[in-house]
Copies of this chain bind each other. A is one copy, B any other.
Amino acid sequence: MKVQKIRLGLIGGGMDSMVGIVHRIAAYLGERYHIVGGVFSSDYSASKLLANKLDLDQSRIYPGIDELIEMELSLPKDQRIEVVSVLTPNFLHYSVAKKLITAGFNVICEKPMTFTVAEAEELEVLVAEKSVAFCLTHTYTGYPMVRQMREMIAAGAIGRIQKVDGQYYQGWINRFIHDVDKRSQVWRLSPDKVGNSCCFGDIGVHVFNLIEFTTGLQIERVLADVNTLYADNPLDVDGTALIKTADGVSGMIRASQIATGEENNMTLSVYGEKGGLKWEQENPSLLFYLLEGQPVQVFKPGNDYNHSFAQESSKLPSGHPEGLGDALGNIYSGFAKAVRGEVHRKGSFPGVADGVRGVRFVEAVVESNTQDQAWVRL
């Protein structure tokens, strides 16, 4: 199959996996990838079932990573999978990515890349040796206003940086942490599954990445106080890391999974000699620009005043949240059920009767106005 799009394979992310859905959507959105196949699950038949649902060629679904590598390498180069997304459980990221890179595949890898620095550096060397492209999904760097923040800082909008404050607060582990049995069953609290850190490895590192991405600074030293809450819990669920950059800028990274009631409250504030910039992940379309002695300015995606990097990163006109595409997607999906005769809710999509009523409304508005603001029935 010769295609213009990039041939993409997926390892992991099977049927009910949230990460699988999100990565497929990410591949669809830019219209640059064609999903070919992969190893969706350690259960081969489950992989095939998903392939069927997605209308993929069953011959490109493999029982394991080794089979994928062998068979794909046997195909002509212009049919072969070009990029593989690694969406497996965390403890497999390193070994799977290593095999793929070694075999010459370009790799998109979920976070964490590895459990140890030695492994990470090994992958770094390998990527260079094999001349493959490698992408780590620090998703938050893809937000238009995060990119705008980066470009504004680079352009000197806030001057030399003198203070950095990053936060990532969630509350989900609170449901499990207070009961020995419950917490022992949380895979994120098992060193076998996630390495030597829970809270900082999972979410603190996102803030770290975001700080370096937006500011261009390199964090050089940390002093951390982390909290396991219970002595028999081996991994951190909360903590603060004081940071210092190579240029002597101070700041801190705060992270928690026991900030009860918080959902995904990541924030970043950066202050410089001329002003500050502030962003919140739960309200990602607003970037606050604090300029000394002036009214606060609120930047939003889709406006011409943004840097081209931010502009290219949003598809919609200003005022339309990115979720608008998802809203329309919900309507398409609701309609799909109707088309296929499946059970669907009333209200899943607007129908022709809604159209009739809308046209009647507009006609009534026009008529009322023509009649000097008389009441008109629809």
Contacts and interface: CB of A to CB of B under 8 A. Distances in A.
Copies of this chain, complex-wide, total 4
A252 interface: yes
Given A123-B355, A325-B326, 19 more contacts: A18-B315, A26-B331, A26-B332, A29-B332, A31-B53, A127-B352, A135-B349, A136-B354, A136-B355, A165-B259, A170-B319, A171-B276, A195-B362, A219-B378, A223-B374, A225-B250, A240-B252, A260-B272, A294-B305
Interface stretch (A40-48, A69-77, A365-373): A365-373
Interface string A214-241: 0000011111111101000000101111
Interface stretch (A60-68, A181-189, A278-286): A278-286
B112 A362 contact: yes
A38 to B, nearest CB: 15
Nearest to A83: B339
Nearest to A359: B120
Contacts of A190: none
A323 B286 CA distance: 12
Nearest to A338: B133
Contacts of A133: 335, 338-339
A264 B222 contact: no
A306 B333 CA distance: 20
A124 B352 contact: yes
A178 to B, nearest CB: 6
Contacts of A374: 223
Given A239-B365, A375-B223, A352 B134 contact: yes
A271 B260 contact: yes
Nearest to A213: B347
